[in-house]
Amino acid sequence: MKKKLSHGTKWNLRCTLCLVPSLLGIAVFFFLPYLRVLYYSLINNQFQKKFVGLRNYEEVLGNSYFQLAMKNSLLLIGIGVPILLLCSLVISFLLSFSMRRFSFLRDFFIFPMVVPTAAVVIVWQQFFAEVDSALPIYALFVWKNLGLCVILLTSALTTIDNAVYEAASMDGAKAFRMHLRISMPLITPTIFFTLLLSIVNTFKIFKESFLFYGSKYPPDYSYTLQYYMNNHFQKFNYQSLAAGSVLTSVLVLVIVAAGLLVQRRFQS
């Protein structure tokens, strides 16, 4: 028994030592910079460094541009993510249940991941030259992230045993009912993960939007949190930038935590 315990302890120690480089990297390149951002959000400027409490947060929350950016970012999450998830599910069902017929389409979904963003934006500018709305950015977000979502969902669907569908078919269940009652519940964890990943990716659409409009001040309907951060960085307004960054990180944390909580309750 002691030999087994000592062997298990040595194994745990080895695993811990293997994790040390990653943990050090996270501490040095994430936690320490984030603590510095928190510090900058609580002082008046980077030169005098006078503690001002939550005044920077009050100014940011009362800033009309921050409010506009927050609204547009939430709209992208509320509109773009459901469309992306719905399209991904439909395509994944087609690929998993008609793999031979639609196998040639699989390579096309990897295409958005390898094409340079600048090249895509040039094509987008030709297609949406006369569009005066946020539709180009929404479409670009869906197109760019569709491939990854399809890969995740298709992988989950292909792990379902065919015997389950055969049994349901023998009981008279139609295709739509099988997908609704069997496929969807079985791949729910992957759906939640894809949903959360897509929400996080909405905060990474800045480069595409910036190249599309070619300006740090796009139309109001496309001014997102990334524009707000970028503009204050260029103005050396580190206090507003730090406060806005903390608020954005809190928003992402709340969304992810809420998603994980819903997932756990759904699974239980």
CATH number of the domain within which 185 lies: 1.10.3720.10
Q: How far apart are CA 160 and CA 150, in angstroms?
A: 16
Entry pTM: 0.81
Q: How far apart are CA 148 and CA 1, in angstroms?
A: 47
Assess contact for 219 and 170: CB atoms under 8 A.
no
CA distances (Å), origin 162, targets 7, 166, 167, 190, 194: 41, 6, 9, 19, 23
- Give one DSSP letter per residue of 67-132, joined into a string: HHHHHHHHHIIIIIHHHHHHHHHHHHHHHHHSTTTTGGGGGGGTHHHHS-HHHHHHHHHHHTTT--
Q: 46-60, 103-117, 183-197, 235-249: lowest mean pLDDT where?
A: 103-117
pLDDT digits (tens, 9 = 90+) for 123-166: 888 888 888 888 999 999 998 898 889 888 888 888 877 777 77
**Domain-located, residue 150:** yes
252's CB contacts (< 8 A; 6+ apart) are 199, 200, 203
pLDDT attached to residue 107: 66
Closest CA to 102 of 145, 154, 144, 141: 154
**Domain-located, residue 251:** yes
Domain around 207: 59-267
Question: Could you tell me which residues are beta bridge partners of residue 51?
Answer: 43
**Domain-located, residue 8:** no
Question: Could you tell me which residues are beta bridge partners of residue 43?
Answer: 51
**Domain-located, residue 39:** no
Q: How far apart are CA 79 and CA 83, in angstroms?
A: 7
**Domain-located, residue 32:** no
Number of domains present in the structure of the chain: 1
**Domain-located, residue 231:** yes
**Domain-located, residue 119:** yes
* Residue 268 confidence class, pLDDT cut points 50, 70, 90: low
Query: What percent of the chain is modeled with pLDDT above 70?
Result: 90
**Domain-located, residue 173:** yes
Residue in this structure with the two tokens 């994790």, named with its chain if needed: 19
Count of beta carbons in the 10 Å neighbourhood of residue 193:
17
